Amino acid sequence: MDSSVPGSVLPNQLRNSGGDCVCLRETNYFYQNFQLKTILTAQQVSLTCKRLAHQVLENHPGLDNTVIIGLQPRGIFFSNRIVDVLRQLTGQGVTYGQLDITFYRDDVRKSLHIANTTNIPFGIENKKVILVDDVLYTGRTIRAALDALLDFGRPAGVSLCVLIDRRFSRELPIQPDYTGKVIDTIVSQRVKVAWTENEGSDEVILLDN
């Protein structure tokens, strides 16, 4: 019930958006078993991306020594948008890579995950790295990402930018530096971030069963 945290919202306070998430309901039968609530609309996602890009620029003026690294697979959609905004704001190129953490996971023997492409065509030695992912939940993905990242060199610093922070669900002591929206959820709920490239529209949805 911590309403003092800016941007925080409790599930029961979420409005039921009704027809807003039609695209998911129509395209994927899986989602018909859930109650869907919109957390962020397309317009809000766009505004949030712009805000986060500005916040990154506040701390990394000029982005001279800064690199952006999106996490495969679904963090890439978000990091693409952040990088687009950063390019518009700075009017210059942004050093941008994609990292896949499949081989660094701690649950290889429990379930098999299919690897995605890693593309980091630059050194990260002494750079300020901003890791970008869509949802921060248990923190295990970020733990693996830190391990993977350090195999590419010794960065001057690493910070974390996420669109959604599922607060109180952490299993490791990892916190974001740039947060789109903080939400309080329970384990049985799911958060789905839909992107135009994949699902047809930008939207963040809470799934309740």
Partner 1 sequence: MKLSAKHLLGIKHLTPGDIQLILSTAAQFKEVLQRPVKKVPSLRDITIVNLFYENSTRTRISFELAEKRLSADVLNFTASASSAAKGETLLDTVNNILSMKVDMVVMRHSASGAPHFLAQHIPAAIINAGDGINEHPTQALLDAFSMQEKFGKLEGLKVAIIGDIMHSRVALSNMYLLRKMGAEVTVVGPPTLIPPYLAEALDVRVEYNLVRALKWCDVANVLRIQLERQNQPLFSSLREYNLAYGIKQSTLQRLDKEIVIMHPGPINRGVELDSDVADGPHSIILQQVENGVAVRMAALYLLAGREVEG
Among 33, 91, 109, 209, binds partner 1 (CB under 8 A): 109
Q: Of these, 55, 118, 169, 201, which contacts partner 1 (CB under 8 A)?
A: 118
Does position 146 bind partner 1 by CB under 8 A? no
Would you count residue 44 as binding partner 1 (CB under 8 A)?
A: no
Cα 61 from Cα 73, distance rounded (Å): 28
Query: Closest distance between partner 1 and the C-beta of residue 103, in Å?
Result: 4
CB 161 within 8 A of CB 177: yes
Give whole-number Cα distances, 79 to 3, 35, 67, 151, 158, in Å.
28, 28, 11, 21, 15
- Least distance to partner 1, CB of residue 112, Å: 4
Query: Nearest approach, Cβ of 98 to partner 1 (angstroms)?
Result: 11
Q: Which is nearer to partner 1, 148 or 204 (CB)?
A: 148
Query: Counting contacts by CB under 8 A, is residue 187 touching partner 1?
Result: no
Binding of partner 1 at residue 116 (CB under 8 A)? yes
Per-residue DSSP letter, 19: G
108 binds partner 1 (CB under 8 A): yes
Residue 53 to residue 56: CA distance in whole angstroms: 5
Site for partner 1 in 151-170 (CB under 8 A): 151-153
- Coil, strand, or helix at residue 96? strand
Return d(Cα 97, Cα 114) in angstroms, integer.
Answer: 19
Of 77-96, binders to partner 1 (CB under 8 A) are none
Specify the residue, 17 or 104, whose C-beta has the smaller distance to partner 1.
Answer: 104
Helix then strand count (H, E) for the chain reads 5, 8
Q: 39 with 191: CB under 8 angstroms?
A: yes
Q: Does 147 bind partner 1 (CB under 8 A)?
A: yes
Which range binds partner 1 by CB under 8 A, 9-17, 21-29, 78-86, 144-152?
Answer: 144-152
Contact between 195 and 189 (Cβ < 8 Å): no
How far is Cα 44 from Cα 202, in angstroms, rounded to an integer? 9
Residue 117 in the binding site for partner 1 (CB under 8 A): yes
Pick the closer one to partner 1 by CB: 124 or 205. 124
Which residues bind to partner 1, rule: CB under 8 A?
Answer: 100, 102-105, 108-118, 147-148, 151-153
